Amino acid sequence: MMTNSANFHPSLQLLTEFSQGSLSVGMSVALSAHIELCRACREKSNGLESEAAKSWMQVSEKPKAPDFTSMISAIVEQPQTTELAPAANSNDNLVNKMHMLNHSVILPHVLARAASQGLVWKKLAGGINQAQVVLDNKTQCEFIYMTPGSQVPVHRHEGSEVTLVLDGSFSDELGHYKASDFMVRTKHNQHTPTSEEGCLCFSVLDSPLTFTKGLARLMNPFIQYKFRKAMAQRA
């Protein structure tokens, strides 16, 4: 599956960190999925990996450059939490599609591998559905389905949130995003994601979000405790 119409892309710095293998597993999976969907970022990433390989080879008697393809394959095969279904044994069992409303969404290969570990969907307030996948002990990774007309309460992040749109679209105070778009939100951003048509995303957070208005703020202590407990249990 290749899509070349993305309007929002990862920064050159983020692509460089991905090529150097310095990102967390969760962030690497999100980058890999976007690169599969976006020709421009795929070409940039290939160039950066070539540069990284040359740099490694120029250092006398140093190990060879890392095999990024093997790295991505390995990280998505890590075991999931016990509540999830057993891992698929072969590519024939890959969950390469998700069924949303009246159509199916084809997943990037790396996300198909992650989804094949088993997904447990949970309904949240505001028409939001969430299915977490465990990829490392540094990030919270999840598929998010926003039903038509749904909205996430206004919030900010203590660290970074990466979102890759897989189908449909959503908007916030900073723009309108559609399939293949890749966004990064930091502690400097406060936003209220909404979706008129419905939207399927893959999201990676390296810290818990904080609701900033209304009754949703009552959930903040619980959200922060749950996030930190989950990271500690995976360490």
Residue type, 122: K
pLDDT of residue 101: 75
Grade residue 151 by pLDDT with cuts at 50, 70 and 90.
very high
Q: Which residue has the higher pLDDT, 102 or 71?
A: 102
pLDDT of residue 85: 36
C-beta neighbour count of 60 within 10 angstroms = 5
Which two structure tokens, joined as six digits, stand for 50?
């070539």
pLDDT of residue 79: 47
Give 119-142 pLDDT, tens digit per residue.
999 999 889 999 999 999 999 999
pLDDT of residue 95: 79
- Say whether 155 sits in a helix, a strand or coil: strand
Q: Specify the CATH architecture of the domain 12-234.
A: Sandwich (2.60)
Distance CA 166, CA 100 (A): 11
Q: Which residues contact residue 45 at a Cβ distance below 8 angstroms, ignoring those fewer than 6 apart?
A: 15, 18, 19, 31, 35
Distance CA 31, CA 204 (A): 10
Element (H, E) at 15: helix 12-19
Q: What is the pTM of this model?
A: 0.82
Q: Which residues contact residue 83 at a Cβ distance below 8 angstroms, ignoring those fewer than 6 apart?
A: 120
Distance CA 131, CA 141 (A): 9
Instruction: Write down the domain spans for the chain.
Output: 12-234
Total residue length of the chain: 235
Which two structure tokens, joined as six digits, stand for 106?
């084809």
pLDDT of residue 23: 95
Compute, in degrees rounded to 10, the torsion defined by CA atoms 80, 229, 24, 71.
-20
**pLDDT score of 118 more than 90:** no
Nearest to 28 by CA among 15, 41, 18: 18
**pLDDT score of 15 more than 80:** yes
Lowest mean pLDDT among 91-100, 154-163, 173-182, 187-196: 91-100
The predicted model gives 206-217 an average pLDDT of: 90
pLDDT of residue 50: 82
Q: Which residue has the higher pLDDT, 222 or 68?
A: 222
pLDDT of residue 72: 60
Please measure the distance between the N-terminal and C-terminal CA atoms of the chain and give it in whole angstroms: 34
The overall average pLDDT reported for the chain is: 85
Compute, in degrees rounded to 10, the torsion defined by CA atoms 105, 107, 113, 118.
-30
DSSP line for 183-213: EEE-TT-EE--EESS-EEEEEEESS-EEE-S
Give 26-85 pLDDT, tens digit per residue.
999 999 999 999 999 999 999 998 877 776 676 645 555 556 566 566 555 654 433 333
Which two structure tokens, joined as six digits, stand for 175?
């723009």
The predicted model gives 202-223 an average pLDDT of: 92
